[in-house]
């Protein structure tokens, strides 16, 4: 049966990365009108903003507070979170989450991880049961001795299949259309395969969401994407996300894609520590190499059936994002400053980031707790060294001894 309907795409979240992904989606739905409805809806957490005085749109609005959605839809620019970037006119901002997800067959999640649970609660019951999701939320949730991918959280809460997108994707650089790449992890449920690939006949199948070894599975029922819609597979996702400046590689390894985006921040702190000491390029490269090794070991230990080592060593979500984060960004910069100034990373967070917390610091701590709980700290000397240096229990000068195989 040839598809007669088109996919309706919505993006949930409108920060700088959400707006950038919204721009890409809308560019592609306009270009592939055979497959997608042209308009892309973008859910915006509504706020009253003042258009900045240096904005080209300041004249129009003056200093009067405005609804962010109104300004986006009138100016086609997210003047607050992605200023200076023209958004496609078919990217439609909406403050109403129910409106945003209604009829959407593809939901792209792109919001800070601390808002995901509350947002999913608001979506529940208002989305199509056969929608498919892509999570662009960086990181993983580690607590209580378990690692949860945000894509799994979405599956458990909304009972829809969800993949993950991650890569060396600093939002303003992607928005400026500078050459870069990303990785999408998407392992379609069996019912979404073509009949030649052995799709089952059922419209509803039970799936166990259980990626991390030892974790108790959550059973959910997945509904088939109706056959009058185009197949949601790697090819379709490339059509939706790839641009001439944004290369997309689709892999099956959802867990590896998500883990790469989380663990890289710990390695970036280590890279900052040795840079702060002035130890040079050799040392930073050694830290990156050891970091990749521990990322692989982490994946292999807790996601043995799903993780593919190549996600870490050959994909944008792995090595490329790691390298970019070890040479640019807040984690490496703050760690460098801490060592140069002889203060703790915490003091740098206070001083340079108005108390905002570095992603790498919290990840290093939760990863350490997780490893400790499983009695595996010795297998991850770099990850643990970073946490111990943050805590003041070890010094950067201890790194050679801590990383040496000879104990």
Question: For residues 276 and 270, what is the distance between their CA atoms, to the nearest angstrom?
Answer: 10
Alpha helices by DSSP H, listed for 124-233, are: 150-158, 171-175
Q: Return the range that interacts with a second copy (CB under 8 A); candidates 5-13, 67-75, 148-156, 286-294.
A: 286-294
Say if residue 15 carries a ligand binding annotation.
Answer: yes
Residues in region 326-355 near a second copy by CB under 8 A: 327-329
Q: Give catalytic status of residue 264 as yes or no.
A: yes
Q: How far is the CB of 155 from a second copy (least distance, A)?
A: 29
Q: Decide whether 115 or 279 has the Cβ nearer to a second copy.
A: 279
**CB–CB of 311/251 below 8 Å?**
yes
Q: How far is the CB of 24 from a second copy (least distance, A)?
A: 14
- Regarding 275 and contact with a second copy (CB under 8 A), the answer is no
Say if residue 104 carries a ligand binding annotation.
Answer: no
Q: Look at residue 390 and give its three-state secondary structure.
A: helix
- Regarding 82 and contact with a second copy (CB under 8 A), the answer is no
Closest-CA residue to 396 (of 385, 407, 380, 384): 385
Q: How far is the CB of 170 from a second copy (least distance, A)?
A: 5
Q: How far is the CB of 235 from a second copy (least distance, A)?
A: 12
Q: Decide whether 244 or 342 has the Cβ nearer to a second copy.
A: 244
Give, for 107, the enclosing helix (H) or strand (E).
Answer: strand 106-109
Residues in region 169-198 near a second copy by CB under 8 A: 169-170, 173-174, 178-181
Residues in region 388-407 near a second copy by CB under 8 A: 399-401, 403-405
Burial (Cβ within 10 Å: 0-12, 13-18, ≥19) of residue 331 = buried
Two tokens at 105? 């067959």
- Regarding 274 and contact with a second copy (CB under 8 A), the answer is yes
- Regarding 379 and contact with a second copy (CB under 8 A), the answer is no
Q: How far is the CB of 97 from a second copy (least distance, A)?
A: 30
The correct pick among 168, 209, 254, 269 for binding a second copy (CB under 8 A) is: 168
Q: Which long-range contacts (CB under 8 A, 24 or more apart) does 207-212 make?
A: 207/155, 207/161, 209/152, 209/155, 209/156, 211/149, 211/152, 211/254, 211/255, 211/303, 211/306, 212/146, 212/147, 212/148, 212/255, 212/302, 212/303
Q: Return the range that interacts with a second copy (CB under 8 A); candidates 62-70, 94-102, 251-259, 281-289.
A: 281-289
Question: For residues 101 and 316, what is the distance between their CA atoms, to the nearest angstrom?
Answer: 29
Question: For residues 109 and 362, what is the distance between their CA atoms, to the nearest angstrom?
Answer: 22
Count how many Cα atoms sit within 13 Å of the Cα of residue 126 in the half-sphere of its side chain: 14
Q: Look at residue 118 and give its three-state secondary structure.
A: helix
Say if residue 330 carries a ligand binding annotation.
Answer: yes
Q: Decide whether 313 or 344 has the Cβ nearer to a second copy.
A: 313
Say if residue 43 carries a ligand binding annotation.
Answer: no
**CB–CB of 166/317 below 8 Å?**
yes
Q: What angle do CA 268, 269, 274 make, to 5 degrees?
A: 100
Task: Indicate which residue of 102, 264, 277, 406 is catalytic.
Answer: 264
Q: Return the range that interacts with a second copy (CB under 8 A); candidates 43-51, 152-160, 242-250, 374-382.
A: 242-250
Give, for 91, the enclosing helix (H) or strand (E).
Answer: strand 91-94
Q: Decide whether 65 or 400 has the Cβ nearer to a second copy.
A: 400
Closest-CA residue to 152 (of 187, 103, 197): 187
Q: How far is the CB of 383 from a second copy (least distance, A)?
A: 17
Q: Which residues are catalytic?
A: 264
For a second copy, the binding residues (CB under 8 A) are: 168-170, 173-174, 178-181, 244-245, 247, 274, 279-286, 288-289, 292-293, 296, 310, 313-316, 319-321, 323-324, 327-329, 399-401, 403-405
What residue numbers does the annotated binding site for NAD(+) cover? 13-18, 45, 115, 171, 330, 357, 359
């Amino acid at each position: 049966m040839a598809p007669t309907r088109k996919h309706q795409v919505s993006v949930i979240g409108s920060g700088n990365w959400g707006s950038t992904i919204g721009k890409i989606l809308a560019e592609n739905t306009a270009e592939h009108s055979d497959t997608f409805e042209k308009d892309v809806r973008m859910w915006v957490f509504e706020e009253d903003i003042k258009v900045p005085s240096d904005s080209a749109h300041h004249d129009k609005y003056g200093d009067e507070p405005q609804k962010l959605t109104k300004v986006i839809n009138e100016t086609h620019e997210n003047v607050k979170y992605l200023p200076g970037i023209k958004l496609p006119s078919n990217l439609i901002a909406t403050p109403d989450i129910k409106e945003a997800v209604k009829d959407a067959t593809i939901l792209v999640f792109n919001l800070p991880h601390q808002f995901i649970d509350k947002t999913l609660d608001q979506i529940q019951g208002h989305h199509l049961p056969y929608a498919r999701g892509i999570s662009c939320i960086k990181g993983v949730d580690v607590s209580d001795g378990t690692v949860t991918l945000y894509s799994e959280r979405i599956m458990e809460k909304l009972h829809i299949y969800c993949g993950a997108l991650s890569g060396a994707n600093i939002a303003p650089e992607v928005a400026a259309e500078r050459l870069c790449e990303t990785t999408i992890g998407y392992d379609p449920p069996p019912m979404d395969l073509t009949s030649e690939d052995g799709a089952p006949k059922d419209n509803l199948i039970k799936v166990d969401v259980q990626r991390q070894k030892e974790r108790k599975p959550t059973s959910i029922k997945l509904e088939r994407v109706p056959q009058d819609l185009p197949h949601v597979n790697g090819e379709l996702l490339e059509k939706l996300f790839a641009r001439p400046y944004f290369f997309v590689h689709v892999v099956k390894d959802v867990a590896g894609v998500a883990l790469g985006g989380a663990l890289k921040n710990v390695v970036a702190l280590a890279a900052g520590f040795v840079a702060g000491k002035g130890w040079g390029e050799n040392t930073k490269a050694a830290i990156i190499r050891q970091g990749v090794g521990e990322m692989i070991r982490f994946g292999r230990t807790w996601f043995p059936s799903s993780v593919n080592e190549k996600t870490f060593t050959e994909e944008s979500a792995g090595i490329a994002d790691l390298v970019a984060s070890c040479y640019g960004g807040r984690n490496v910069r703050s760690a460098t400053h801490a060592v140069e100034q002889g203060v703790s990373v915490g003091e740098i967070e206070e001083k340079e980031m108005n108390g905002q917390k570095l992603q790498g610091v919290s990840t290093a701590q939760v990863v350490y707790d997780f490893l400790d709980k499983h009695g595996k700290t010795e297998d991850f000397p770099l990850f643990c060294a970073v946490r111990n240096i943050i805590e003041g229990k070890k010094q950067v000068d201890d790194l050679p001894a801590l990383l040496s195989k000879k104990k």
